[in-house]
Amino acid sequence: MNKAQKKDWVKLILDNFIWIILAVLFTYFAVNIPNFTLKSNLINILLHASVLGILAIGQTIVLLTGNFDLSAEGMVSLSTIFAMWLMLEPGIRGEAQGSGLMMNPFLVIPIILLLGTIVGFLVGTMITQLKMNGFIVTLAMQLSLRGAAMILSNGQIMTGSPKAFNWLGSAKVAGFPVSIIVTILMFLFVNYLLNNSKFGRELRAVGANPDAAAASGFNPKRTITLAYTIGGFLAAFAGWMLLGRLETSISTLGEGYTLETVAASVIGGVSLKGGVGSVGGAFAGVMLLSLIDNALNLMSVDSFWVEAVRGFIILIALLIEAQKFRYKPKVIHEPAIEKPAVSGTK
C-alpha cells in the first residue's frame, strides 16, 4: 500500500468512524443482551430514532450555518398541546381541557406546521436582523413555547387525540410503522438536497466563512433565517409524529431533545463551528443514541444513570470532534477549518 492509498484509507475511516462504532456496539448488545435482536425491539429502537431523527435534521441544518437551535424541544411541546387544545372539547375548569372548537384534524395538522414555521422564521429574524445572541434567543423561545403549552394545558396531561390525527405516529404499512418510513425518506431527501443543490452549498459556505460567502454572492442572513425556519417546521412535524404515537401530551413533552439532537449531530461529524457535516452522519448519531438508550432500558439501568450516560456521551462526542478535526488535516494534508469564534449571530 503506497502513501496515497494509506491516506485514502485513513480519510475513509475518519469520515465513517461513527458507523464503525455503531456496528461494534450493535454486535456487542446483540450478543450480550437477551431479546435485543427481537423484531419488536428493533422496531422500538427505530421508533425512538424517528422523532429524534426529524429533530436532528433540523438541528443539523442550523449547525451547518455555524449556529444552533435550543428552541426545538419547546416547539415539540407547544405543537402537541396546541393540537390537542384545538381538537378536544371543553373540560372542567382548572383541568386540562380543549378549546371547544373540535377542529378537524386535517385542518389542525397544517396549522401546527405553520406555527412551527413562523416561530422558526421569527427566531432566525431576531438573530440575523436584530443582531440578538443566538443562544439567548433560542433559549428564551424554548421557555416561552413551553410556558404557552403549560398555560393551554393547565400543566396537566391532555389525552385522546383523534385517530385521523394519529396516522403519522401510529399507522403501519405491511406491519411497518409509517413514522419510520417517513423519517428514512426525509433523511434521504435532505441528504440529497444538501449534497446536490445550491442551498446545501450555501449552508456550508455561510457556516465556514460568512464573509467569504457574502463575497461569493450568497446572502448569509437569508440563509441562516431559512435554516431556522426549516428547523421550526421540522420541530412541529416531529411533535405531530410524537403525539400521533403517544395519543397523549403534556407541557414537558419533548424535554431533553435539544441536547440529544446536538449530540447526535456532533457524534455524526457535524462541526459546531459550522460548514462541515451531513444529515447522513447525523442519522448515524441518532441511531447510536437510540441504540444505547434501548440497551440501557433492557438492562434495567436506573433512569438517573441513563441521564449520566447521555451526558458522558455528549462529552465524548465533543472530544472526538475536536481530535478528529485536528488530526485529519495532518494525515491527509487538508486545510484545517479555522474561523472566528461564533457569537450566536452571523
Higher pLDDT: 40 or 10? It is: 40
pLDDT per position as a tens digit, 159-206: 889 999 999 999 999 889 999 999 999 999 999 999 999 999 999 999
Q: Is 248 helix (H, G, I), strand (E, B) or coil?
A: strand
pLDDT, residue 214, reads: 93
pLDDT score for 277 = 87
Cell representation of residue 60: 443539523
pLDDT score, position 7: 65
Q: No. of H helices and E strands in the chain? A: 14, 4
pLDDT at 327: 63
- The pLDDT value given to residue 49: 95
What is the pTM (predicted TM-score) of this model? 0.89
> Residues 226-278: pLDDT tens digits?
999 999 999 999 999 999 999 999 989 989 898 889 989 988 888 888 898 88
CB atoms within 10 A of CB 218: 18
Q: Which tops the pLDDT comparison, 106 or 336? A: 106
What span, in angstroms and rounded, lies between the C-alpha atoms of 281 and 239?
23
CB 103 within 8 A of CB 86: yes
Residue 188 to residue 27: CA distance in whole angstroms: 25
Structural domains of the chain, with CATH: 39-332 (1.10.3470)
- More confident: 185 or 327: 185
Q: What is the mean pLDDT of residues 212-225?
A: 94
pLDDT of amino acid 42: 95
